[in-house]
């Protein structure tokens, strides 16, 4: 299907610079939604199981939750939201002939900001290990390390994807397929962001 | 290569693909009906309780172990076909195809190791319960917890399929993304070693189990894909074999 995309399909400016933003189109290649929806489904199962377990021993979960550093969690939320915004701006730039030269730097900036997430997470984990907290400390921390660990793996993959996208965005005359690829990679990064927006309140804030 | 050989390789590949359902049906029957391993013995059970399960079901598990060992190789032929089709994408030097194939040979070893321990345990189920408990956990860690090889195998398939630049790709692109998802999904099993209960432990309705089933259905999907590839022309793959591609 992706081979049949026209420039208008992926939202590239027409010659007169006129693009209808309401034009319906599925972002990225349709196939990538199998990956995105499938991944969201897996995490949803984990979220539900976590909440069920929490419901069974609320005291233990509540007590252990106090050891989490909410400030670092909030900083990481800001980091991912900023990075997501930069990717969205980069896509806009890539679509417009006038600002296309900004697309690649914006994507590199998104990767740079996004990599801060890993740094902050490393500090957070270090804090836990220094306090003698490991995945086997109790049930809450098993879930904490599993959920954040799986998410961190997604962040790392996402950062590699962003670096690939930044290279794609350097092309002066990107094809419709390039833009669809960029959209797909961007959607993956937004999904990583979305997952964190659920994980953060679920682990750090829910009382 | 003459036209007769072209027909022969296409036919062989179709036969290879049809081995996959044999694997899944036989393995499933032996595992579920023969050994009663769905759901598996809960990890939180005591050594005596686990040993009791093995003693009670010893006869069924022995037959199951025999079948498991026998049908293991049936998972291999489809990965050979995958290898050939991936080489059509990659050309003469085909790093992804080789990576996929070498990981597949380890995958089958993982199934074999589980079958060996299952047979061994069912052979003398009345040994010290602590030994039964330890070996029982080795079986499940082997089947569920070894994820790196599966990750590499599915990643290799995914990246190779998505790199196919021809206008009419050999595999549909969505299949590449599906492989990516399976690659990420099987990683869930990695955490089995940390849990004695819950979704990531080896029992219960676990996501890894779901994934293995999905991965199985996916293999059937591959059968369809290869069917198309056959008709569209094995000529490309013949070129490959001559080393011209």
Of the residues A2, A5, A28, A34, the best mutation for testing chain B's interface (the one with the most B CB atoms within 10 Å of its CB) is A34
pLDDT for B198: 66
Around B140, how many Cα atoms within 13 Å sit in the side-chain half-sphere?
A: 27
pLDDT for A36: 92
Q: Which of residues 109-138 of B touch A (CB under 8 A)?
A: none
* Least reliable range by pLDDT among A8-17, A59-68, A197-206, B20-29: A8-17
User: Is pLDDT larger for residue B202 or for residue A52?
Assistant: A52
pLDDT for B147: 82
pLDDT, tens digit only, all 245 positions of chain B: 566 666 777 888 888 888 888 888 898 889 888 888 877 888 888 999 999 999 999 999 999 999 999 998 998 998 998 898 899 899 888 999 999 999 999 988 988 999 999 999 999 888 999 999 999 989 888 888 888 888 899 899 999 998 888 888 888 888 888 888 888 877 777 777 777 766 667 665 444 555 555 555 555 555 555 555 444 443 333 333 333 32
Q: Does A135 touch chain B (CB under 8 A)?
A: yes
How far lies A196's CA from each of A110, A199, B8, in Å? 16, 5, 52
pLDDT for A7: 64
How far lies B84's CA from each of B88, B157, B233, in Å? 7, 12, 13
pLDDT for A199: 95
Looking at the predicted structure, is the pLDDT value of residue A9 above 70?
no
Interacting residues of A81 by C-beta distance below 8 A, sequence separation 6+: A193
What number is the average pLDDT over the span A58-82? 93
**In b/e form, how buried is each residue of A30-49, taking b as 16+ CB within 10 angstroms?**
ebbbbbbebbeebbebbbeb
pLDDT for A136: 79
**Cα gap B70→B66, rounded to integer Å:** 6
Q: Flag whether the ipTM exceeds 0.90.
A: no
pLDDT for A106: 96
**Cα gap A166→A87, rounded to integer Å:** 10
User: Which pLDDT tens digit goes with each residue over A108-122?
Assistant: 999 999 999 999 999
Q: Does B152 touch chain A (CB under 8 A)?
A: no
- Give the minimum alpha-carbon distance from A103 to chain B in angstroms, rounded to a whole number: 23
User: Which pLDDT tens digit goes with each residue over A146-205?
Assistant: 889 889 989 999 999 999 999 999 988 888 888 998 999 999 999 999 999 999 999 998
pTM above 0.90, yes or no: no
Chain B neighbors of A142, CB-CB under 8 A: 194-195, 198
- Give the minimum alpha-carbon distance from B163 to chain A in angstroms, rounded to a whole number: 12
- Give the minimum alpha-carbon distance from A183 to chain B in angstroms, rounded to a whole number: 14
pLDDT for A168: 92
pLDDT for A49: 86
Q: Does B159 touch chain A (CB under 8 A)?
A: no
pLDDT for B233: 40
Q: With beta carbons less than 8 A apart as the criterion, state whether A5 and A31 touch.
A: no
Q: Do A45 and B184 touch (CB under 8 A)?
A: no
Looking at the predicted structure, is the pLDDT value of residue A132 above 80?
yes
Q: Does A6 touch chain B (CB under 8 A)?
A: no
A22 pLDDT tier (thresholds 50, 70, 90): low
Q: Which helix (H) or strand (E) holds A118?
A: helix A103-130
Q: Does A156 touch chain B (CB under 8 A)?
A: no
- For B32, which DSSP code? I
Q: Does B63 touch chain A (CB under 8 A)?
A: no
Chain B's closest residue to A53, CA to CA, is B198
pLDDT for B191: 75
Q: With beta carbons less than 8 A apart as the criterion, state whether B20 and B74 touch.
A: yes
What is the C-alpha R_g of chain A? 20
**In b/e form, how buried is each residue of B154-173, taking b as 16+ CB within 10 angstroms?**
bbbbbbbbbebeeeebbbbb
Of the residues A3, A28, A38, the best mutation for testing chain B's interface (the one with the most B CB atoms within 10 Å of its CB) is A38
Q: Is the peptide bond before B39 cis (omega within 30 degrees of 0)?
A: yes
């Amino acid at each position: 299907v992706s081979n049949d995309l026209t420039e208008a399909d992926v939202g590239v400016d027409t010659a007169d610079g006129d693009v209808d933003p309401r034009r319906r189109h599925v972002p990225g290649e349709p196939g990538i939604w199998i990956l995105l929806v499938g991944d969201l489904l897996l995490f949803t199962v984990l979220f539900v199981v976590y909440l069920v377990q929490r419901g069974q021993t609320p005291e233990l979960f509540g007590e252990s939750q106090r050891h989490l550093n909410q400030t670092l969690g909030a900083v990481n939320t800001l980091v991912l939201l900023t990075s997501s915004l930069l990717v969205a701006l980069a896509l806009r730039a890539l679509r417009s002939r006038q600002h296309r030269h900004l697309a690649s730097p914006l994507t590199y900036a998104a990767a740079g900001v996004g990599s801060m997430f890993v740094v902050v997470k490393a500090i957070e984990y270090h804090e836990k290990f220094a306090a003698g907290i490991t995945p086997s400390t109790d049930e809450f921390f098993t879930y904490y390390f599993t959920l954040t660990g799986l998410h961190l793996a997604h962040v790392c993959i996402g950062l590699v994807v962003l670096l690939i996208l930044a290279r794609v965005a350097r092309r002066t005359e990107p094809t419709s397929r390039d833009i669809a690829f960029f959209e797909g990679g961007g959607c993956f990064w937004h999904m990583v962001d979305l997952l964190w927006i659920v994980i953060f309140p679920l682990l750090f804030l829910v009382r | 290569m003459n036209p007769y050989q072209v027909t022969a390789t296409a036919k062989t590949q179709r036969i290879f693909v049809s081995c996959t359902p044999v694997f899944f049906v036989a393995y499933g029957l032996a595992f579920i009906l023969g050994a009663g391993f769905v759901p598996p013995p809960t990890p939180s059970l005591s050594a005596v309780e686990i040993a009791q399960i093995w003693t009670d079901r010893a006869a069924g598990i022995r037959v199951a172990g025999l079948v498991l060992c026998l049908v293991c190789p049936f998972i291999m032929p489809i990965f050979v076909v995958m290898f050939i089709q991936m080489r059509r994408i990659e050309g003469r030097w085909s790093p992804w195809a080789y990576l996929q194939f070498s990981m597949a040979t380890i995958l089958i070893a993982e199934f074999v190791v589980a079958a060996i321990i299952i047979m061994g345990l069912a052979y003398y189920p009345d040994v010290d319960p602590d030994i039964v408990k330890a070996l029982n956990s080795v079986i499940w860690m082997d089947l569920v917890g070894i994820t790196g090889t599966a990750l590499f195998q599915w990643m290799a398939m995914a990246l190779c399929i998505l790199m196919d630049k021809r206008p009419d790709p050999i595999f549909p692109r969505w299949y590449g993304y599906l492989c990516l998802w399976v690659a990420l999904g099987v990683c869930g099993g990695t955490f089995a070693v940390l849990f004695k209960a819950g979704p990531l432990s080896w029992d219960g309705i676990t996501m890894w189990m779901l994934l293995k089933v999905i991965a199985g259905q996916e293999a059937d999907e591959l059968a369809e894909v290869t069917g198309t590839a056959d008709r569209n022309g094995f000529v490309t793959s013949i070129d490959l074999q001559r080393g011209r591609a």
